[in-house]
Amino acid sequence: MSEEETHIRLTAWVHGRVQGVGFRWWTRSRALELGLVGSAANLADGRVEVVAEGVREHCERLLTALRSGESPGSVDRVVERWSPAKGGLQGFVER
């Protein structure tokens, strides 16, 4: 399989009390452990947007972690979108 076939992009919008509680740092740590690249960013409406690219299984594991209840703060709901990886990302950053 080529890299394009094995890599995917997960975009997840995390709802709840997830700003100002270390959620983005926690997400970054989980993503780096899984070898993913991308970002976690606060949105004006109180959500956190997580964009991660890498092997689908690792993205799925990150999504499971986001929904696990083990993160800082309180997650009410996670809305996900899957799309082809776009590339061009390096590391995993907090925005």
Tokens 């509680």 belong to residue:
21
Catalytic residues: 24, 42
Strand 74-84 and strand 37-42: the pairing is: unpaired
* Strand arrangement of the beta sheet that strand 7-17 belongs to: 74-84, 7-17, 48-55, 37-42, 92-94
| DSSP single-letter state for residue 20 | S
Residues β-bridged to residue 94: 40
Report residue 16 as tokens: 């709840």
